[in-house]
Structure 1
Amino acid sequence: MKNKYIAIFGILFSLLSCNEDFLKRLPQGVISTEQLETIENAEKMVIAAYAGQINERYNLRPLTPWPYGDLRSGDAYKGGAGIGDKKQWHQHETFVLLDVDNTGVRGKWEIEYEAISRTNQALKIVNAVEEDYPEKTQRIAEMRFLRANNYFWLKVNFRYPVYLDETIPVEKYREVGNNLSDEELWNKIIDDFRFAADNLPEEQDAVGRPTKFAAQAYLAKVLLFAAYEQDKNNQLVNINKDKLNEVVALCDKVIQGSGKDLFNDFGDNFECGHQNGIESIWALQFSHNDGTETGRINAMNETCYPMVAEYGCCGYHSPSQNLVNSFRTYLGLPDFDHFNEINIGEYSNSVKENPIDPRLLHTVAMDGLPYKYKVDFIYDSETWPRQPEIYGPYLSMKETVRYDDPCYQPVNPWKSSSLNRDVIRLADVILWKAEALIQLDRESEALPLINKIRMRAAQSTEKLIDIDGMPTGDFDVAQYIDGDNCNWTKDFAFKALQWERRLEFACEGFRAYDLLRWGIMAETLNEYIDVERTRRPHLANAKFTKGRDEYLPIPKYEIDLSQGLYKQNISY
């Protein structure tokens, strides 16, 4: 799968006759649906649908979630060359100027539907094949899995997307509105993942194709989100316990049956040499040295590299001071109440003078420390960020690779790589199970799950050394021990779970959706802004409006095309 991407359907209209017979003939270069209904062509359509999952556009049409999940969560600033540089992302970060014409809003809508279109077309062809097709049911399950993935991202970004499947003719698309309810939309996505879980094999020969366990994991994720029920004003009103019980059961199946485990070192998740490894449940497959000029690389991450000679551009996706401070520990535990009172990372030795969770230095590039574990390649917070006077001294590292890594690929003036993007890894599944257990009043069962994640964090220090082999920080991570260093009540357990998800998945693009699910987006973001605007002036006018900013607006362009059939989200 990784290196097989196929260009399909070059359209060359040619009129070769002056009599009326040409009106009845298919133009050269155009393929009818009937001609595609073979196993060979169905397989090509399936491959094209996989390719659509990574077919994003630099800074305009992201499938990668960080522009939405990090900038809209307090985990990161836009970065780059000031607020006018790709201002659509500044609008996402500050909320107040985000409008229905924002190109980042329209781009997200379009790119997800382009991917859905490919899966729907593939499903039509696969379903229509009348030959003996042994993989037919499996291919249908794969396509429904991919489609559900795209609809999940539409759902958590827009709340009320338009639902189109392979049974609706393309010419009827503009007759379908976005009038399905929350529950109806979630059920559509759930049905696709259920079918995938029931019909996919436990193992796949080709990496990138989802397995039964990947489908079970994604089904658990969707059920977890659907369990947190919202009213018409985007506010949490109920938590569905039946769905949570199914989340626990599905997570158990994945944890116990998939053969997956945590990497011994947290940092292994973000290096090319460990792709599709023991922790990866399902990853999007980028390619390198595949016979094309630059490979199929992650276009959205092209702008995230430092402004240093070995790279050159462009300093986007800058971790916030609030996020950096959240990694500070007190007696080995997160400093829940006072973490944001000290700005760690402002000078070279600050992470040696303040105890920290080592996941910080796997996530954030910091002054005077090795970049991406290369001990003689030292990050300079004054020159490597593009505009440190605006966006501060930090850059994100999980999505970047070393300039001497075999999967690194310059696309001048930008840089990128064929590093896969894990959509789900086992740490996710473990923490989803812990979250469901806590909400089911079974918090004692969640304690060892959260501690498992913390144990791995504590031992993830081998890569974090300087040129002399000395630790680059004062690393101190302890497990929770009920009755000793904490009182493991339901409320405390849920706070610990929320904190653990932030530390584990920082700068991976998930934070905003966690806050949305938990119903705490407005208070968390406005509390963050109140303090952060005193550190970063570009946030001076930022404000999260409760009851509106939980979701993006439906793009005005799409509403206009539908002639008003699509209904706008509340308060836009």
Structure 2
Amino acid sequence: MKILKTSALAISLLALSSGCNDKEFLNVQPTGALSDDQLNTAANIEKQVIATYSQLGNDVYRAPYTSLWPYGNVRAGDAYKGGNGTADVDAFHFYETFTFNRVDVGNTDELWFLIYIGISRANDALRRLETINATAMPNKAIRQGEMRFLRGHFYFMLKELFKRVPYIDETIPTEQYASVSNVALSNDELWTKIADDFRFAVANLPDTQPEIGRANKSAAQAYLAKTLLFQAYVQSDNNAVTSVDQAKLQEVVTLTNQVIASGKYSLHSDFATNFLTAGDNGVESVFAIQFSRNDGTPKGRTDRGNALNYPMNPDYGCCGFHQPSQNLVNAFKTDAQGLPQFETFNNSDLSAPADFQTNTVDPRLDHSVGIPSHPYKYSPSFIFETSWLRDQNTYGVYMSMKENVLPSDPSFQKTPPFMSSSKNWTIIRYADVLLWKAEALIELNRPAEALPIVNQIRQRAQNSTARLKTTTGANISNYRIGQYSAGVWNQAYARQALRFERRLEFALEGQRFFDLVRWGIAADYLNTYFEKEKTKRQHLKDARFTRGRDEYLPIPLNQINFSKGLYQQNPGW
């Protein structure tokens, strides 16, 4: 690289130096810049790998992708936006109602941009890894596996959010990025590209890693299983599910069996452990985002994606977003056998404190939802009150809990005006792996093999009441949860039970909307939800899901403009 620095003094000296013909003094390295050769060392490549991991949690409250709560929970009818009315981060209101969503919403554009930063970092690390030999960097193949895993994760998020995105890997020169269309690959081809990243990771990652937080072989097998499960539900150009690929479902079973057989994972004995700092990197965590505080930085590397979601009481202070819907709370009701009320759960509301005693409920309700008069986050004397709510007239009286910690928790961090913590956010729980296997078995018409798996999840929930106590030691609510019997367990019933179980097990964890789209039932499900819920919540009066459009977010208008019209907008937008 050449650089020329000039000044009045330099020009004068050059004018006087008529006898100097040597220009070699111009060939110097620029101050404050590094060449590729300087960066392509083992030590510097390791830093780029870490930079890619860091992007897992580098989201912001207005465009969160850690938990995906505005897109996976609010759009699914499991939560209302919350906050101070519909104009408070109004993009989330647009997502919730669908009707008002637009192609020029800045939050959607920022979400796209932030996720592509993760892909860019992974690609940069992979390019540099390709330049170094295994002698200089003995763990080269492992680091390549990690970067392919992380790139697969970022692309998976983009795929479930936007469906049609430009696929750029480390082999494409930067100057050619502008020529890569978001429709260059078909829907199935894009899924296959994502799956290929995880296949490479499976082949190159070790069974265990010396450092907590790095992806291992089992995590790659699990994420590959998830990718193939989504790909198995074949979609038309208008987002309708047209068939289910049986071969891919069988591979899902094979992969989940491999994760199970590894012996590294199990369900926590208490469901609560998944959502406590003490449970970070425990036996149920297959892959998680690692956060930190007191790490030498001013405010720590904490969970900013969920920073809006704490109650408005003096111990916290802000901001009252992510409020569970009445429909979700009602879904935790159980019948005399302790089973979900598939068809009738929403006929009446759980509302008054007495309702949680006169009705029987699944214990996972009090693990997931902050309810007035109930202890908050497993602290019997820390009682959730309606005064903690920011706008109960609009959004009701419930608050999400899984992502939050107590103000006394060692991971808690105030980042005024927001709240945060260094508690991990788990991307894949072992319960996911089990229910992916169960789902694949059911769709393969092998429901009998899925029955003990679903009941295993329900048995754990039944045993998870030790932390759900009042100051007197009594249960907070009237818990009753039972297991399914083989007598009624045919494919149709098993499919209904599995889908309901996923809703209860992963409530408010950012997954529900993507499940509905994957199964091809989002339009019917959500319009039925709106029909009833809008009678209770005025902010939903104009909400409507448009089939063939609202399964995915629009391609941001800014991105289409940047591409000079190369990118094509999603159908219906």
1:22 deviates by: 8.3
Partner of 1:365: 370
Change (3 A) 1:167 1:350: same
| Larger mean Cα displacement after TM superposition, 27-36 or 37-46 | 27-36
Gaps of 5+ in 1: 1-12
Code of the aligned partner of 2:394: I
Are residue 157 (structure 1) and residue 161 (structure 2) matched?
Answer: yes
Aligned partner of 2:227 among 201, 207, 222: 222
1:15 deviates by: 4.1
Gaps of 5+ in 2: 12-22
SS of corresponding position for 2:80: strand
SS of corresponding position for 1:70: helix
Q: Is the 8 A contact 1:441 1:490 kept in 2?
A: yes
Aligned partner of 1:390 among 391, 394, 397: 394
Are residue 123 (structure 1) and residue 103 (structure 2) matched?
Answer: no
1:388 deviates by: 0.5
1:301 deviates by: 1.0
SS of corresponding position for 2:242: strand
Code of the aligned partner of 1:35: Q
Q: Show the 5 A alignment for 1:248-263.
A: 248-263=253-268
**2: CA distance between counterparts of 1:108 and 1:528?**
27
Partner of 2:68: 65
Partner of 1:534: 535
**1: CA distance between counterparts of 2:63 and 2:25?**
41
**1: CA distance between counterparts of 2:167 and 2:27?**
34
Aligned partner of 2:84 among 69, 81, 93: 81
Partner of 1:210: 215
Q: Show the 5 A alignment for 1:516-531.
A: 516-531=517-532
| Larger mean Cα displacement after TM superposition, 24-33 or 519-528 | 24-33
Aligned partner of 1:96 among 96, 99, 105: 99
Partner of 1:466: 470
Change (3 A) 1:111 1:14: farther
Q: Show the 5 A alignment for 1:151-190.
A: 151-179=155-183, 180-190=185-195
Are residue 193 (structure 1) and residue 201 (structure 2) matched?
Answer: no
Superimposed CA distance per residue, residues 512-559 of structure 1 (whole angstroms, 9 cap, x where no aligned partner)? 000011000000000000000001100000000000000011000000
SS of corresponding position for 2:292: coil
Q: How many equivalent pairs are there?
A: 555
**2: CA distance between counterparts of 1:292 and 1:339?**
48
TM-score (norm 2): 0.95
**2: CA distance between counterparts of 1:385 and 1:14?**
62
1:24 deviates by: 5.0
Superimposed CA distance per residue, residues 343-387 of structure 1 (whole angstroms, 9 cap, x where no aligned partner)? 11x222321121000000000000101110111110012x11110
Q: Show the 5 A alignment for 1:368-379.
A: 368-379=373-384
1:62 deviates by: 3.4
Partner of 1:33: 36
Q: Show the 5 A alignment for 1:422-501.
A: 422-483=426-487, 487-501=488-502
Aligned partner of 1:334 among 330, 340, 357: 340
1:61 deviates by: 4.9
Q: Is the 8 A contact 2:448 2:486 kept in 1?
A: no
1:288 deviates by: 1.5
Partner of 2:17: none
1:418 deviates by: 0.4
| Larger mean Cα displacement after TM superposition, 98-107 or 38-47 | 98-107
Partner of 1:7: none
1:23 deviates by: 7.0
Code of the aligned partner of 1:55: N
**2: CA distance between counterparts of 1:72 and 1:268?**
27
Change (3 A) 1:341 1:437: same
Superimposed CA distance per residue, residues 124-148 of structure 1 (whole angstroms, 9 cap, x where no aligned partner)? 1111113521100000000000000
SS of corresponding position for 1:277: coil
Code of the aligned partner of 2:149: F
Superimposed CA distance per residue, residues 479-522 of structure 1 (whole angstroms, 9 cap, x where no aligned partner)? 00122xxx111000000000000000000000000001100000
**1: CA distance between counterparts of 2:448 and 2:65?**
39
Code of the aligned partner of 1:400: N
SS of corresponding position for 1:77: strand
1:64 deviates by: 2.9
Partner of 2:14: none
| Larger mean Cα displacement after TM superposition, 17-26 or 134-143 | 17-26
Q: Is the 8 A contact 1:61 1:107 kept in 2?
A: no
Q: Is the 8 A contact 1:221 1:432 kept in 2?
A: yes
1:105 deviates by: 1.4
Superimposed CA distance per residue, residues 139-171 of structure 1 (whole angstroms, 9 cap, x where no aligned partner)? 000000000000000001111111011111112
Are residue 401 (structure 1) and residue 402 (structure 2) matched?
Answer: no
**2: CA distance between counterparts of 1:490 and 1:128?**
52
**2: CA distance between counterparts of 1:110 and 1:71?**
21
TM-score (norm 1): 0.95
**1: CA distance between counterparts of 2:122 and 2:6?**
34
1:60 deviates by: 3.1
1:63 deviates by: 3.8
Decide which structure has the larger Cα Rg and report it: 2
1:21 deviates by: 6.9
SS of corresponding position for 1:560: helix
SS of corresponding position for 1:127: helix
Code of the aligned partner of 2:229: L
Code of the aligned partner of 1:113: Y
1:175 deviates by: 1.2
Change (3 A) 1:378 1:14: farther
Code of the aligned partner of 2:566: L
Q: Is the 8 A contact 2:152 2:197 kept in 1?
A: yes
Q: Is the 8 A contact 1:16 1:22 kept in 2?
A: no
Code of the aligned partner of 2:415: V
Code of the aligned partner of 1:268: T
Q: Is the 8 A contact 2:63 2:108 kept in 1?
A: no
Superimposed CA distance per residue, residues 204-248 of structure 1 (whole angstroms, 9 cap, x where no aligned partner)? 111110110000000000000000000111000010000000000
Q: Is the 8 A contact 2:361 2:477 kept in 1?
A: yes
